[in-house]
Structure 1
Amino acid sequence: MPPSSLRVVYAFAREMHPKTTDVFIQYGTAGFRTKASLLEHVVYRMGLLAVIRSRVKNGRTIGMMITASHNLEPDNGVKLVDPDGEMLEQSWEEIATRLANVSDNDLESTTAQVIKEVNADMALKASVYIGMDTRYTSPRLAAAAVHGVIALKGTPKEFGIVTTPMLHYCVKCRNDNTYGTPTEEGYYEKIVGAFKNIRQKLPVTGDYSTTLYVDGANGVGGKKLNIIRKSLDGELDLNLYNLGGNGGKLNLNCGADFVKVSQQPPVGVEHVAFQRVASLDGDGDRLVYYYLDDKNKMHLLDGDRIATLLASYITQLQTACNAPALTIGLVQTAYANGASTRYITQELKIPVTCVKTGVKHLHHAAMSYDIGIYFEANGHGTVVYSQQAKATISKIAEEGEPEERKAAQLFLNFIDMTNETVGDAISDLFLVETVLCARGQNATQWMAAYDDLPCRQLKVTVQDRNAISTTDAERQCTAPEGLQTRIDELVSHYTSGRAFVRPSGTEDVVRVYSEADTQENADKLAAEVAQAVFDLAGGVGTRAEIPA
């Protein structure tokens, strides 16, 4: 690309999307995420990078999603989606961070330097898909993304308001036409169509009820389910709450993250004893379930519970298909409840891999199996299937014995219902409802599989989150000196005690997790570890300001 073309990059930035802050912003586990007022120049520059990435990938489509997921409404963010619908290749995260933080005066030369580094053929066509969530700042940021794409002569396509998983799905379909149609309607046709097909084969039996309450977090996922429910033909009766009306604020005291972390039911939802409730997050990529008992106590069915439910059913289908050669594995993070890990390995006899927090790490680990199930405890996860697995199951559906063919056809519908590109609250909701229906189970029976260890999560505001270093899938702290020794000492005082700390990928806080034999002990252990972090890792403010 001639220098005159790169001058357009600088001119666009200076005149329309100037860098107005010196705040350093880093590409984290889910892209850039911070106050929306700090992001316009960053999103513009990611439009540039998306075009470069598309050309490095021989013109394949790259995605850009404008969202801050489960964060509150004043925040926003942007992340890039690679051609297979996966997160941006990790080696490019440093490039994204560098490009986001250079001055406007250095943007032209830095862009040229990046193009040279990655050996991008700027003569190739470039395609970028752009989606956004429901935040009031998203349209302005999406416009900045479009300008960035156009500045390097790429072709943007705007999808408007979509869930994050819908954009991942569309990017995958655009680059692999065997996966589906790259539109929102194509998503409904595949995911919802497979659900309806499978439910027609599964009569409602036992204690399963087709009624499901849903907390939409006042975000995009609830809005899309409101569209979907009109086409479900009675297979699932969705009662939707927190759809963004009546003054409800995005993710405020509602949504999957609030329910998981606070272990409280969301506001804005009508509650009936033992009625299962599905709670989505703001951009529709996380899902947790819960119910209140007749004493108004909340029982949480989080990502661990979803993972174990799906894994047990998938092994059941594998056995019914008579496909023992297919390898099945489950991937977790350190946040997974210890009781779930024991249940998976000892009861289900499925191997477990533990990786660093961040769905990109889980996704790649899951791909080492023919059938890889991965979920973070926060409810972000999915199932991925190798081509070998799909081919094997398809062959059985055509050539197997009658009962094997029946099971294999069911399995193929289950696969079609799965958004394999990324964790997807809507797809995962349909997967869960399918398994519960197939087994005739209600939420209490699902909960009865094993007993969770009581746990607690806290966060500590620090001057610099990079003062914390970890190893062993974030289960051991290597810096600052003395912190892991202190954590080990605190844990030793509690029955079934476990605790770890890790730096946030998006803000200057250190996240603390604890488990113990009672909730009181889990709470005490978390508070003690948080104090140790505060003392040894440069806590900000006073101890009383350490928030839950």
Structure 2
Amino acid sequence: MSTLPVEAIREFSERHPKPGHLTYQYGTAGFRTLGNDLDSVMFRVGVLAGLRSKRLDGRTIGVMVTASHNPEPDNGVKLVDPRGEMLEASWEGHATVLANASNTSAFVEALETLVKQLKIDLSKPARVVYARDTRPSGPALVGALEDGLKALGVEARNAGVTTTPILHYLVRAINTKGTKDTYGDDSAEGYMQKLSSAFKKLIAGKPASPPLLVDCANGVGAEAAATLSRYLGESLSLILHNTATTTSGALNHACGADFVKTQQKLPPSLAAHLKPGQRACSLDGDADRLIYFYLDERSQFHMLDGDKIAALVAAFIVDLVKAAGLEEEIRVGIVQTAYANGGSTKYLAERLPVRCVPTGVKHLHHAAEHYDVGVYFEANGHGTVLFSPETQAKLAEHQPSTPAQSTALTHLVNLTNLINQTVGDALSDMLLVEVVLVHRSYGAFEWDSLYVDLPNRLVKVVVADRNIFKTEDAERRLVSPPGLQARIDELVRKYEAGRAFVRPSGTEDVVRVYAEARVRAQADELAYRVAGLVYDETGGDPATRPAEFL
């Protein structure tokens, strides 16, 4: 087939007309909005995924139908490139153009332009693997996606209901099958086997950990965690809560990683179950984010977020690299965003290189690839560790000169199998945390004591036009409006350990203000005073200025 099957595309497209009043945007999380508004988008993504595969000589592309930590009525879709990574940035624009074509004729015209522009050889095969989370809107949206795949004659594989990280794993496993870079068996069982086997090797000979409470957000992670628990057996006892995947409205409701991070409190459903000192963690709706927490002896809640996970994991890997005698050959680095707590940055900077990049997983992942071992975690609990191909080869070839070096080297090799290097993965990251806690003989309190978080506050300011706010230095400084950064600097200097930055939202007409200071009341005050400057700058009416900004 050297031309587009226009008739088939037209016929299927008419079943999935674009709503005239909606404009779609492919962002970091793909397309995401109310599930009821995504039918036409799903069909067109199916066609696009097929073209992406043809452009890459028939390598398998992934499609995940999910809205992650969003409320249940939302849904979304994102494409996964052959190594399990996020879709190449330039194709985000192509996806947006196709999704917004006003009707079938405009869609076909846009497809023909894309094929010509990118010189896509339509005679190449097209292969796609797809999956969805547990949302009620999922089956209908998958049906629309399948029509898009059929319209282009794609060789498709349905991976069913599964987590986002498992879908990413499958994409890499399929594309590396039978090569020297083989990533694992291309099945959910292969994923479970790979993680559980590496975990058991890493904790062999260590005392068993007390049971871990896992809040599954009433999402697809509940099913995966239950399966993983069976594979782990006695090596780690998981007590699963919030596993109601078929209860209407339960998904992410008053539970899950996003709830814990934003509310900074215990999910109410765990109040009767969590004992002081016991470790607990929350997954999000598609199991790609992880937040730990515990209660102290006074039953006070303490959160162990992505920054705390990064600090625990990075320091452990640095120590293993030294113990293996490889510190001269393997550079470990960590990537953060401006939202990382100043306490974590100070702790990490004393141990390894720290780089700050703009907010968004794609920026973190890309920057982490520049290190031999790159660790990245957003404060929201999304992150992973990347071992470069050269580093993995080095670990395979290195000849240790002592038993201690040999042990450390074996641990590093096992870590490369335990960690899902394609994307942030709550279950893989959970096992990684548990390995480090066992090796360090830490409970939740000892982990939390590695460094003290500086008190911080995040404030939203509604503005008429967020586009007047331009940033530099990884979003830590404003270059526009002119003069505003100098006034923020002047304010910040008045607070001990003060830090503040302002950045426009990527999705709504608001500006986000983040502030830190040595004392909670000062962090709050600094945030509101900076927010007041932002409000005044946008020409707000003093009569409508929010009271807390005064």
Alpha-carbon distance change, 518 to 399 in structure 1, aligned in 2, over 3 angstroms: closer
Q: What are the within-5 Å matches in structure 2 for residues 35-434 of structure 1?
A: 35-104=34-103, 105-177=105-177, 178-204=182-208, 209-244=209-244, 249-269=250-270, 270-324=273-327, 325-346=329-350, 348=351, 350-396=352-398, 400-434=401-435
Alpha-carbon distance change, 251 to 459 in structure 1, aligned in 2, over 3 angstroms: farther
Structure 1 window deviating more from structure 2 (221-230 vs 329-338): it is 221-230
Alpha-carbon distance change, 210 to 341 in structure 1, aligned in 2, over 3 angstroms: same
Q: Contact conserved, 1:285 with 1:424, CA < 8 A, in 2?
A: yes
Alpha-carbon distance change, 295 to 203 in structure 1, aligned in 2, over 3 angstroms: closer
Alpha-carbon distance change, 351 to 531 in structure 1, aligned in 2, over 3 angstroms: same
Alpha-carbon distance change, 3 to 408 in structure 1, aligned in 2, over 3 angstroms: closer
Q: What are the within-5 Å matches in structure 2 for residues 427-506 of structure 1?
A: 427-462=428-463, 465-481=466-482, 483-506=484-507
Give the number of aligned pairs.
539
Structure 1 window deviating more from structure 2 (524-533 vs 512-521): it is 524-533
**Whole-angstrom CA distance in 2 between matches of 1:230 and 1:464:** 52
Match for 1:527: what amino acid?
Y
Q: Contact conserved, 1:242 with 1:248, CA < 8 A, in 2?
A: no
**Whole-angstrom CA distance in 1 between matches of 2:143 and 2:546:** 42
**Whole-angstrom CA distance in 2 between matches of 1:539 and 1:224:** 49
**Whole-angstrom CA distance in 2 between matches of 1:499 and 1:194:** 41
The alignment partner of 1:404 has SS state of helix
Q: Contact conserved, 2:129 with 2:171, CA < 8 A, in 1?
A: yes
The alignment partner of 1:451 has SS state of coil
CA drift of 1:2 comes to 6.7
CA drift of 1:98 comes to 1.2
TM-score (norm 2): 0.92
**Whole-angstrom CA distance in 2 between matches of 1:538 and 1:268:** 44
Q: Deviations over 1:45-72 (max 9, x none)?
A: 1111111111111111111111111111
Alpha-carbon distance change, 219 to 538 in structure 1, aligned in 2, over 3 angstroms: farther
CA drift of 1:466 comes to 3.9
**Whole-angstrom CA distance in 1 between matches of 2:54 and 2:544:** 50
Alpha-carbon distance change, 158 to 4 in structure 1, aligned in 2, over 3 angstroms: closer
Q: Contact conserved, 1:468 with 1:537, CA < 8 A, in 2?
A: no
Structure 1 window deviating more from structure 2 (381-390 vs 534-543): it is 534-543
**Whole-angstrom CA distance in 2 between matches of 1:490 and 1:75:** 40
Q: Deviations over 1:341-379 (max 9, x none)?
A: 111112x2x001111111111111111111111111111
**Whole-angstrom CA distance in 1 between matches of 2:539 and 2:159:** 43
Match for 2:240: what amino acid?
L
| Unmatched runs of 5 consecutive residues or more in structure 1 | none
Alpha-carbon distance change, 41 to 467 in structure 1, aligned in 2, over 3 angstroms: farther
CA drift of 1:493 comes to 3.5
Q: Contact conserved, 1:534 with 1:543, CA < 8 A, in 2?
A: yes
**Whole-angstrom CA distance in 2 between matches of 1:30 and 1:362:** 14
**Whole-angstrom CA distance in 2 between matches of 1:537 and 1:219:** 41
Structure 1 window deviating more from structure 2 (278-287 vs 527-536): it is 527-536
The alignment partner of 1:233 has SS state of helix
**Whole-angstrom CA distance in 2 between matches of 1:388 and 1:40:** 43
**Whole-angstrom CA distance in 2 between matches of 1:268 and 1:170:** 33
Structure 1 window deviating more from structure 2 (193-202 vs 111-120): it is 193-202
Q: Deviations over 1:262-287 (max 9, x none)?
A: 21112211221121111111111111
CA drift of 1:340 comes to 0.8
**Whole-angstrom CA distance in 1 between matches of 2:23 and 2:536:** 25
The alignment partner of 1:285 has SS state of coil
**Whole-angstrom CA distance in 2 between matches of 1:502 and 1:79:** 25
Match for 2:420: what amino acid?
N
Q: Deviations over 1:438-486 (max 9, x none)?
A: 1111010011111110112233445554443322111123344554345
Bigger relative contact order, structure 1 or 2, given CA contacts below 8 A and separation 6+? 1
CA drift of 1:539 comes to 8.4
Structure 1 window deviating more from structure 2 (299-308 vs 454-463): it is 454-463
| Unmatched runs of 5 consecutive residues or more in structure 2 | none
**Whole-angstrom CA distance in 2 between matches of 1:266 and 1:472:** 36
Match for 1:371: what amino acid?
V
**Whole-angstrom CA distance in 1 between matches of 2:538 and 2:69:** 26
Q: Contact conserved, 2:81 with 2:88, CA < 8 A, in 1?
A: yes
Residue 524 of structure 1 aligns with which residue?
525
Alpha-carbon distance change, 542 to 138 in structure 1, aligned in 2, over 3 angstroms: farther
**Whole-angstrom CA distance in 1 between matches of 2:90 and 2:109:** 21
Q: Contact conserved, 1:84 with 1:421, CA < 8 A, in 2?
A: yes
Q: Deviations over 1:100-130 (max 9, x none)?
A: 1121131110111111111111111111111
Q: Contact conserved, 2:2 with 2:122, CA < 8 A, in 1?
A: no
Q: Contact conserved, 2:4 with 2:122, CA < 8 A, in 1?
A: no
CA drift of 1:509 comes to 3.9
Q: Deviations over 1:202-261 (max 9, x none)?
A: 334xxxx33111111111112211121123221111111111266662222221112112
Alpha-carbon distance change, 101 to 329 in structure 1, aligned in 2, over 3 angstroms: same
Q: Contact conserved, 1:454 with 1:516, CA < 8 A, in 2?
A: yes
TM-score (norm 1): 0.93
- Percent identical pairs in the alignment equals 49
Match for 2:334: what amino acid?
L
